[in-house]
Structure 1
């Protein structure tokens, strides 16, 4: 099958021809991939950064959407032909979503709403689950205040929407060009992170901070009230102080959460702006994402 991935540890991302995944074992499904998401985290898969069970030569990718082609023993929730979306880690077939077919754990897959297109579905899992799980960790309620750094990124923009829908007042850091878009998603205030004095522009103390940009936790922590919470998505949560809970978050598969997110995306209460590209452009797409040259757009590969 056609794939995009790596031929060995620490090798460049290239186009590959790989054998088909094995027939699903107990609790597994084989999925014909219709679209697969590309994220900055994918650069961590081919080394010591994030061990997802990849065994090169193998396709990269830990999220996507497609149709079930085969089901293993003890799988009752899906049948052949069903559409699904998933974030999968570790990868039971030792190879990922940037391919024509992928082996998944059935319990990690969510049904894809009939009105949701594959490109939209594939753009959702990792960023959506990360935003959902971070907000759950922060435990905010109506009327409370949240600071999100890198609000224009894929995770940040989803977190803005989810938090605003909960009645949380959101302030986000972003470039000036993203201000109107983020206000349209629900941000009450957007400050330009290019200004080294951006912390002076925010109004008062926050109940919590969500760190989605490396190197911003140190500036955000003083803006959190005593006893508040900070959640870092960039593995740089600072030591706690003033009773503030400071924690790093690492996304985990969760089919129930993903199903609820997919329903919101299908209903239009969540918005994404993915850019579809053919699988043959995978190496160049990966290079763009790894270098941060997407302008906040989610890239999705189509086999």
Structure 2
């Protein structure tokens, strides 16, 4: 579902090749949609697409075939994955996708395809960002865009660690984020929002573009800042700053999937038929998701 030049449209594409060594072929049951998908068809994020191709770097489905040396999966297994680069040159917004077996996680029984497909990129990003920050029980964390899918998962994961979380979001999201574990929610529409929080955060996770510079003065000397929007300021006051790019990790994803299945994590998925992919992406790109993660169903 892409063409050279960045346009997103419906295409009739050939099936992926048969799996080679270390690969699995998966029948897609649901595929996640994220703002990053707009980068895949241009020069923004090279994930190995060979256009025209299907977009999508996350999803869930059933194994159709395995490479000769793959022993951890069998035909019929339910799986989920974040994959980049894409070994078949085409992504999850299709009926079938070729994946690297080492990046694929088993899908726990009881987790629906829509919920499984909604998890990989946002879940792994939140997990890896918190690992980068290295916070521990009793420390304080600032998260910007706490109402987004990554931000809301980071709130839940951090709160479960005993970290005190302050998040920025719209006023309408306050009750929801407090229910997920945020100790304080500040309305980002107020340009003076940094004055409403107590500084000296041990870490900051900036998931909204343009917020890293405002968050930096709120981090204590020797603290850490992790940006998901590639605008981390230069280090100062012994603060470590990082621009994070999410990486596939089957072990981390398997653990997150079990938490989601068990109700320890919450992520609202909204399914769309695959042929409405361009419409779903437009909603994501323009921020009109209402706090839901949109997924495509073939």
Structure 1 segments (4+ residues) deviating >4 Å? none
Aligned to 1:208: 203
Aligned to 1:46: 41
User: Are 1:113 and 2:128 matched, yes or no?
Assistant: no
Aligned to 1:33: 28
Aligned to 2:2: 6
Matched position secondary structure for 1:260: helix
- C-alpha deviation, 1:56, in angstroms: 1.0
Matched position secondary structure for 1:21: coil
Aligned-partner Cα distance in 2 for 1:74–1:98: 27
Aligned-partner Cα distance in 2 for 1:268–1:97: 26
Aligned to 2:244: 249
Number of residue-to-residue matches in the alignment: 298
- C-alpha deviation, 1:11, in angstroms: 3.6
What per-residue deviation string (whole Å, max 9, x for no partner) do you get for residues 4-44 of structure 1? x113x224111111111100000000000000000000011
Aligned-partner Cα distance in 1 for 2:85–2:280: 23
TM, length-normalised to structure 1? 0.97
Matched position secondary structure for 1:10: coil
Aligned-partner Cα distance in 2 for 1:204–1:122: 37
2:7–2:41 contact (8 Å) kept in structure 1: no
* Superposition CA RMSD, Å: 0.6
Correspondence list, 1:181-200, <5 A: 181-200=176-195
Aligned-partner Cα distance in 1 for 2:261–2:293: 17
2:6–2:38 contact (8 Å) kept in structure 1: no
Aligned-partner Cα distance in 2 for 1:226–1:131: 23
- C-alpha deviation, 1:203, in angstroms: 2.1
Aligned to 1:155: 150
Aligned to 2:217: 222
Which structure 2 segments of 5+ residues have no match?
Answer: none
Aligned-partner Cα distance in 1 for 2:47–2:68: 23
TM, length-normalised to structure 2? 0.99
Deviates more, 1:284-293 or 1:230-239: 284-293
2:6–2:42 contact (8 Å) kept in structure 1: no
Which structure 1 segments of 5+ residues have no match?
Answer: none
Match of 1:130 among 115, 125, 142: 125
Aligned to 1:70: 65
